[in-house]
Amino acid sequence: MSPRTPLPAPTASTAADTGAAAHVLDNPAWAALAGPHAHLAERRGRAARYPADVSPFTALADPADPLAWQDLAALAGPPGSTTPVTGAAAAPAGWEVLESGHGVQLVATALRTEPAPEAVELGPADVPEMLDLVARTRPGPFLPRTIALGRYLGLRRDGRLIAMAGERLHPPGWTEISAVCTDPDHRGRGHATRLVRAVAHGIEQRGDTPFLHAAADNTRAIALYESLGFTLRRHTAFLRVRTPLEGGPAVPAGTTSNRES
């Protein structure tokens, strides 16, 4: 078990709410898109997103900044387009909130990590099986090119993929563990635990600290992660919104597009 950097007490507030210094995990999607995942980013000024076949994450440099929302409107497409946005609990006037949700963010503070010799590294050729497993287990979004975000490990039985876990957001110094899932016929045998520890081991080997997200109502998963040595850090929010129709706030001149995929 590796030593961990002390973390602030879990809170439902952002740094902006409390006046505290911002932490990179307060806005991890933006930190990833503006940092280690910049080569994947589709960006318009203060708004950025992953390509649609990689991840649904869309982020703002500062969800409290009206100019960031104007950049998001331009990035999303024609007026009236729909888009997800992470890290925002509310939208400005003129935006229609179509869906909202809440989650939790947990960080590794006492996680024992170790390789899993029986795990195999998954690559592009494994994506059809990975998509099938995700469709049957619903761990969260996993798309045809999500594998581009990081390293994925799987367990096979009789040649069939029965469990997997991998890496998603990568803000500087941190890597998110995601897509943790096990075939229903193979649950209760510790497969998820072995894979989480193995993925976390690889993250630590390159000097990052593991973290993860879960839906706030997924109490079973949260309890599992806490038993493994993850600690609740903060509550999170996400929205699916419709951009303002014609006649809404104008997009300021001078915004730029930066897409490298």
Per-residue pLDDT of the chain (261 residues; tens, 9 = 90+): 444 433 433 333 333 333 445 899 999 999 999 999 999 999 999 999 999 999 999 999 999 999 999 999 999 999 999 999 999 999 999 999 999 999 999 999 999 999 999 999 999 999 999 999 999 999 989 999 999 999 999 999 999 999 999 999 999 999 999 999 999 999 999 999 999 999 999 999 999 999 999 999 999 999 999 999 999 999 999 999 999 997 554 443 333 333 332
pLDDT reported for residue 261: 26
For the chain, domains (ranges, CATH) are 24-102+237-254 (3.40.630.30), 107-234 (3.40.630.30)
**Contact status, residue 239 vs residue 85, Cβ threshold 8 Å:** yes
Q: Which residues of 15-36 are buried (b: 16+ CB within 10 A; e: fewer)?
A: beeeeeeebebbbbbbbbbbeb
What pTM does this model have? Answer: 0.86
pLDDT reported for residue 246: 72
**Contact status, residue 145 vs residue 50, Cβ threshold 8 Å:** no
pLDDT reported for residue 256: 39
